[in-house]
Chain A
Amino acid sequence: MKEYKGGYFGKILHVNMDDGSTRIESIDDDYVEKYVGGRGFAIKLLWDHLKKTGKIDPLAAESMLVVAPGPLTGVYLPSSGKNSFAAISPATGIYGDSSMGGGFGVELRQAGYDAVAITGKTSELSYLFIDDDVIKIVPCPELAGKGNLETEGRIRDNLGDHSLRVASIGIAGENLVRFACVTSEWSRNAGRTGIGAVMGSKNLKAIVVRGHKDMPVADLEKVIEISEKAYHELGSHYMMGHWQRVGLMGVIDYANELGILPTHNFRDTHWEKAHMINADVMMSKGHKIGNTGCFGCPMCCGNINIVKEGKWAGTVTEGPEYETAAMLGSNVGVDDFASVLRANHLCDDFGVDTISMGNLIAAVIEGYEKDLLTLDDLDGKPVKWGGDERIMELIEQTAKCESIGATIALGAKGMLARWPQLKPLILHVKGLEQSAYDCRGASSMALAYGTSDIGAHHTRAWTVGKELEAGADWTNKDRVDLVIYHQHIRSLFDMFGVCRLPWIELGFHEDFYAELYSAVTGKEFGLEPLLKASQNLYDMTRAINVALGVKRKDDFPPDRTFVPIHTGPLAGKVCDKKEYDEMLGLYYKTRGWDEEGKPGNFAI
């Protein structure tokens, strides 16, 4: 690379699991300018691969899994511990990615790679060991059926090095559960879109990384200057103490007061028992014993919790954060915080996504309540709101693909194929279960779920708070503009390999990242060209999705979005289907896509 003096090693590692062969793809200035890094590189790699293979089963051996930290991952700046995992999702059949915090991406960069693309399948359960320049595939049949907690510890012990990083799958990934996670540092998860199942389909139990290299930074003095100012600003922010104390658990009360807290499978959006699963319970009942922070992050939003007494005594878990507490708490009617902790622990160890898990269990409970599922469907064991012991059992059965769990493990699409009567009850877009924010009070959020390139996930565009706080005078244009802006700026964070939270929560300015990226790369950038690159990539994921069959009808939010809320502060609120359709049309038009949502410039 010529113009970029830092930020990149210029190397993408390709590994073929079939025979263990590797290849280094060199990347140049043009590549970097177009795709930036992280999620951007992943999209380009999957795009090229898809052109070669055509549409294939996401769990087929020749499918590709991409692991991509960004050019800012591991750099001396606040919250730079992010890393993207991407593949064609086995849950949705379209583009899928999920990012993970912690230190895994930093270690991968230190091994000297900007991204790793894995194809093929080993005959025996194995882990991939990226040891700086030496790449090995190591058989590990002894780890079959082991949970994430044991797997990571045993790999570190066996290799006799406590400082390396492990990203593993639990039982769920091995069993190809469609919403299986990839887990690192015992409980940091790339949770969504079933990347863990893609690893499982390759017989890839873990990716182990050890790296020692300097991360290339063009102007370190400048980075130090900008970053230390940033650390200082964040450290003196009035909300900083709150973030360190409770992290995202603080959102439970916020969401409940606004009326967007998913309760009883999103039937209600406000819960009188929310105070039993909120941050106050975590703090006052002595559950929280410590913080965790991703690499370089002063916010340390992770909560480490334990259960000291009662039936779940002895449970240790890193979490929950908001999504988990809502989806495995209010959404399934669990009002005991210790049970939420237990469910969180099980999901981490088995390696299943807590959002999808809570969503699908809630659909089963409601389906049984409404007689859409019979006792036979449930293997003779009833399940009810707040029935925590049966819920734990369902989590385990899902991870192990046993009994009814074998159907739940197929995700929203698979469950609907077996139980089409559950259609109104399973909240998903394109096969990805909806995150823990109800969108009926803010139709921009409905649009965000509908048009997110991976399905109903909140991190592409989180506009619900903004719209509700702003009041009722928003036009569809306001909504469309905000959703599109978020889809670009938030994707840009995934491309850089940094966390969005300092920006969205502590008012950190976007321009800071452009300034830092300039200092790291030694090439002057404003925010505009970077956002343009992000927009291009959004068009690319759309083109991938269109090629894989996505049409306008797939860009609608879950059915329940069009059923009014009955209770709570937003009672009576509903998203109007006709209005949504108009808004979607405006969204396509603003993006320059055609009536079916096909981007003009891209064909695959």
Chain B
Amino acid sequence: MRRKLAIVPERCSGCRVCEIACAVHNQGVNNPKKARIRVTAIYPHPVVRMPVVCSQCKDAKCMAACPTDAIFSKDGVVQITDDECIGCHACVDACPFGAMYIHPDYDVPLKCDICGNSDQPQCAKMCPTGAITFIPEHVFGQAHRLNNVLSYAHMKEIEYMEKGEPKKLHYADNNAADREESGGAK
């Protein structure tokens, strides 16, 4: 079963632990500018923070753009052969997500290879808020599916406090649908 890095931007605090963890483990230096994942923060309109990292595309634009075929895919991980790379950065420009990075110390772009196709990439392991998850491929999109289901079902919501903590109760009111069908509530 293949797994993918999946980002939940709503949970990101912008702390950049992912960047520094990536850099120390993959490049062996204490330098967040050498990370293969970066947090972009936009404020105040709109307020959003989001780590940007390679999606390991099946039909990878970076691979297609590479003039020397230096980029290849193995076991679902898109990687660069350093020796073949000529440093033209066409791949960086081609990536629709901006998920490849350039640092002046390197000719070869920085690109996520899931920590050498590991089963525990450092960014996901170290993220303190769960904004970076490492999930089976078939689970990808699950959050959107659930959101879609929830919005389709016209969910109702009640807010209440429990032991000082705010809680919400969500429910789909089946009777309401029946009432609508029979021409509105009586």
Contact = CB atoms under 8 A, between A and B. Distances in A.
A185 B42 CA distance: 9
Contacts of A75: 30
A16 interface: no
B95 interface: no
Contacts of A244: 13, 128-129
A318 B42 CA distance: 12
Interface in A55-79: 74-76
B103 interface: yes
B60 interface: no
B20 A220 contact: no
Contact of B38 (A163, A292, A316): A163
A76 B20 contact: yes
A300 B43 contact: no
A364 B63 CA distance: 66
Interface in A4-63: none
A75 B20 CA distance: 8
B15 interface: yes
A289 B47 contact: yes
Max count, chain A CB within 10 A of own CB: residue among B14, B28, B129, B164:
B14
Interface centre among B15, B28, B159 (most CB of A within 10 A): B15
A86 interface: no
Contacts of B159: 284
Interface in B148-169: 159, 161, 164, 166
B29 interface: yes
A187 B44 CA distance: 10
B30 A215 contact: yes
A216 B29 CA distance: 8
Interface in B36-92: 38, 40-41, 43-45, 47, 49
Nearest to B25: A224
B94 interface: no
Contacts of B45: 316
Contacts of B15: 293-298, 300
Counting contact residues on chain B (CB < 8 A from A), the size range is: 35 or more
Contact of A212 (B17, B30, B104): B104
B16 interface: yes
Contact of B24 (A185, A213, A224, A295): A224
A162 interface: yes
B124 to A, nearest CB: 13
A427 to B, nearest CB: 31
Interface string A296-316: 111110101010000000001
Given A295-B16, A302-B13, A76 B21 contact: yes
Contact of A76 (B30, B33, B43): B30
A300 B128 contact: yes
A247 to B, nearest CB: 10
B34 interface: yes
Given A110-B33, A220-B28, A290 B166 contact: no
Contact of B30 (A223, A300, A302): A223
Given A235-B128, A294-B15, A316 B29 contact: no
Interface string A222-264: 0110001001001100000000100000000000000000000
Interface residues of A, number: 47
Given A224-B24, A280-B161, A290 B49 contact: yes
A198 B164 CA distance: 44
B129 A280 contact: no
A234 B16 CA distance: 16
B16 A296 contact: yes
B166 A74 contact: no
Nearest to B28: A220
A214 B29 contact: yes
A516 to B, nearest CB: 12
A106 interface: yes
A106 B15 CA distance: 12
Most B C-beta atoms less than 10 A away, residue of A76, A211, A215: A76
A290 B44 contact: no
B7 interface: no
Nearest to B103: A212
B14 A74 contact: no
A66 to B, nearest CB: 24
A468 to B, nearest CB: 22
Nearest to A152: B43
A316 B44 contact: yes
Nearest to B46: A316
B30 A186 contact: no
B51 to A, nearest CB: 13
Given A185-B41, A297-B15, A316-B47, A280 B166 contact: yes
B10 interface: yes
B43 A186 contact: yes
A74 B128 contact: no
A275 B20 CA distance: 39
A132 B131 CA distance: 31
Contacts of A216: 30
Nearest to B164: A280
A215 B31 contact: yes
B30 A304 contact: no
A291 interface: yes
B31 A110 contact: yes
Interface in B4-27: 10, 13-17, 20-21, 24-25
B129 A212 contact: no
A214 B34 contact: yes
Interface string A560-585: 00000000000000000000000000
Contacts of A304: 47
A149 interface: yes
A217 interface: yes
Contacts of A299: 128
A162 B40 CA distance: 8
Contacts of A217: 30
Interface of B: 10, 13-17, 20-21, 24-25, 28-34, 38, 40-41, 43-45, 47, 49, 103-105, 126, 128-129, 159, 161, 164, 166
Given A212-B104, A290-B13, 17 more contacts: A76-B24, A163-B38, A186-B43, A212-B31, A215-B30, A220-B28, A223-B30, A224-B24, A244-B128, A280-B161, A280-B164, A290-B47, A297-B15, A298-B17, A298-B129, A300-B15, A316-B45
10 contacts: A74-B32, A76-B21, A212-B103, A214-B29, A220-B30, A291-B13, A295-B15, A299-B128, A316-B43, A318-B43
Complex A-B, nearest 6 residue pairs according to Cβ-Cβ distance, in ascending order: A293-B15, A298-B128, A300-B13, A293-B13, A291-B13, A284-B166
